[in-house]
Structure 1
Amino acid sequence: MTGSVGDAEDIVQDAFLNLTRVRQAGTAVGNLKAYLTTSVTRLGINYLSSARVRRETYVGDWLPEPVVVCADRPGPAEHAELSDSLSMAFLVLLEALSPVERAVFVLREVFGYGYPEVARLTGKSEANCRQIFARARKRVAAGGRAADLAPPPPVRRAESEELARKFFEAAEGGDMDALLGMLAPDVVFQGDGGGKARALARSVTEPRHVAQLLVGGFRRVRILGASMRAAWINGRPGAVTYDSEGRVASVVELDIADGVIRAIHSVSNPDKLGHLGPLSDIALLPKR
């Protein structure tokens, strides 16, 4: 719902605090799950209403906060839970929806709630929820590709991990030909620095330009004495960049489909990396 780890945690905490207040006031809660789900849903809608205003003035491309599942290799459970609903491409697509559309879409498409439950959770009529969902699904489908909407099949996860390994090796070694062979013709590179860290001013889309950007970026990583460690980011293969002191500088996620890399998402905005550990200053822009 939020695209933000910290805000999601705050919403869950607020929901439990509200539950505590209700119980202390002597009100009995018959269905705990229904009460908390309703509370979280409506708090999420309120959050999105204010977040949309803030993002109108956001500097550069906006990307969700990266969720690093495991620095090594996650098990099947983590993949199944994250890959279809937390990939950066999918969350960016949801940004096109209104707060209520996003809530209805997530409840129905991601969590599988029936329309009567969605109506109760959002405070809308069942007929209205059907219309909202149909409209939201159409908008999401129109704005993305099949690869953005579906989780990678389990059989292909190992292949994606191997492709990611070869990709990072080629980028580090400056092997342009190898990189070009792994990038889709319509590949997109997006960076999110939030106006606080070095990032692309706008998306790069041509494979050769993307490859040149990658080679230059990895060269700079070596010069700064930084290193990249493989990780699973939002249910997709990627890497975390650490400086020479082991502090987090940036995160890269690869969106892979049909044996090629369709999108590369890089987050260096320090406001979105604090939950991953101590932050590095190597990517920060000079303060004005």
Structure 2
Amino acid sequence: MLGDVSMSAVELEAFTSARPRLFAIAYRLLGSAGEAEDAVQDAFVRWQAADRERVREPVAWLTKVLTNLCLNRLTSARARREQYVGQWLPEPVLTPDDRLGPLETVEQRESMSLAFLVLLERLTPPERAAFVLREAFGYGHREIAGILDVTEAGSQQLYHRAKGHVERERSRFSATDAQARRILERFLAAASGGDLAALEEILVADAAAWADGGGQIGVARHPILGVAKVARYFANWFGNVNMERLRRLNLDHIKVYIVEANGRPAVVAYADDRLLAVMGFDLVDGRVGAVRTMANPEKLRFIGDQLDGRDRGEPLLAFSIAEL
């Protein structure tokens, strides 16, 4: 028997207090802030319709419901992404943000990184859920087993299988925030100045670049691999080719800032008041190993809303296209 949709203050508070954690789990599972918000809202609808008097542990109940909603979304998302135009990347989010859970440990910060979220795409939905719940949120295998409706041994198996896949390809972020900022400043100075030699010096030999325009923005639809090709790509991206496109859109004043996104220093580029792109970087031994650029307007909405009204400080780059 379904409970009455009317909700007591205590029952509403149970959901409200759990909401940030639910969103944090959903974002890591789905790689999409918009879809995470929808999943959390669906969990609230289920909570409204539940026989809440029989729910002994609301947070555990909501986590189970939310996780299974995300598993269903992951299954359907795989089919949709096969039809996606160009490369698919996770939606970037501004951090720190109370909705994304604690980012105090290396594991918690890594679980937010774009590189890590891309790696998780290679796991099955149950493996991804077991891994995220264990690594990022510290759930025990007994709890995970209850959430996923598997045995405790089954939870351990899912986790170890996922960990094996991830460990083979994960890269460690080896720079402090201050070091990262200096590297990004050098990268932007070289790219905006079209200095290929300086760019190649900043990039590792097997550097890679990915860009997600969703078929709406003119970015590379295939990975750019190798130091020379990546250097040329970003010299052009910041150079005349991209500037001409912005002129056609009647955009003029360009400002580039360094912010923290997904637990790491990132670059955001604005034309007038329009957010053009967010660039996330993998840094290894003082150089840039990979760059992931989100330019799909639909997937910039969440971080755009986060950035609106925030003091971004002084722009690292600022110029007018009309002056070029």
What is the identity, as a one-letter code, of the residue corresponding to 2:154? N
Residue 201 of structure 1: CA displacement?
2.0
Q: What is aligned with 2:216?
A: 196
Q: What is aligned with 1:243?
A: 271
What is the identity, as a one-letter code, of the residue corresponding to 1:249? L
- TM-score, normalised to structure 1, is 0.85
Matched-pair contact (CA < 8 Å) for 2:181–2:258 = no
Q: 1:38 and 1:152, CA in 2 relative to 1: closer, same or farther beyond 3 A?
A: farther
Residue 275 of structure 1: CA displacement?
2.1
Give 5+ residue unaligned stretches, structure 2. Answer: 1-28, 97-101, 247-251, 306-324
- Is 2:202 the partner of 1:168? no
Distance in 1 separating the partners of 2:144 and 2:303: 33
Larger radius of gyration: 2
Q: Which digits, 9 at most, give the CA deviation of each residue in 1:43-90, with x for residues without a partner?
A: 1111101111111111221100111237xxxxxx75758631121111
- Is 2:36 the partner of 1:8? yes
Matches within 5 A, 1:4-43: 4-22=32-50, 25=51, 27-43=53-69
What is the identity, as a one-letter code, of the residue corresponding to 1:67? V
Distance in 2 separating the partners of 1:52 and 1:140: 19
Residue 152 of structure 1: CA displacement?
5.1
Residue 229 of structure 1: CA displacement?
1.9
Q: 1:86 aligns to what SS in structure 2? A: coil
Q: 1:258 and 1:2, CA in 2 relative to 1: closer, same or farther beyond 3 A?
A: same
What is the identity, as a one-letter code, of the residue corresponding to 1:218? F
Q: What is aligned with 1:55?
A: 81
1:207 to 211, 220, 227: 227
Distance in 2 separating the partners of 1:87 and 1:118: 23
Distance in 1 separating the partners of 2:104 and 2:185: 18
2:155 to 109, 125, 129: 129
Residue 141 of structure 1: CA displacement?
2.2
Distance in 1 separating the partners of 2:158 and 2:66: 19
- Is 2:290 the partner of 1:270? no
Q: 1:69 aligns to what SS in structure 2? A: coil
Task: Give the root-mean-square deviation of aligned CA atoms.
Answer: 2.0
Matches within 5 A, 1:171-186: 171-186=191-206
Distance in 2 separating the partners of 1:274 and 1:18: 27
Q: What is aligned with 1:107?
A: 133
Distance in 2 separating the partners of 1:183 and 1:261: 5
Q: What is aligned with 1:285?
A: none
Matched-pair contact (CA < 8 Å) for 2:259–2:265 = yes
Question: Quick one: higher RCO (CA 8 Å, sep 6+), 1 or 2?
Answer: 1
Give 5+ residue unaligned stretches, structure 1. Answer: 71-76, 279-288
Q: Which digits, 9 at most, give the CA deviation of each residue in 1:218-272, with x for residues without a partner?
A: 114555333322222212222112112x111211111112211111001111221
Distance in 1 separating the partners of 2:49 and 2:139: 27
Residue 26 of structure 1: CA displacement?
5.4
Q: 1:231 aligns to what SS in structure 2? A: strand
Aligned length: 263
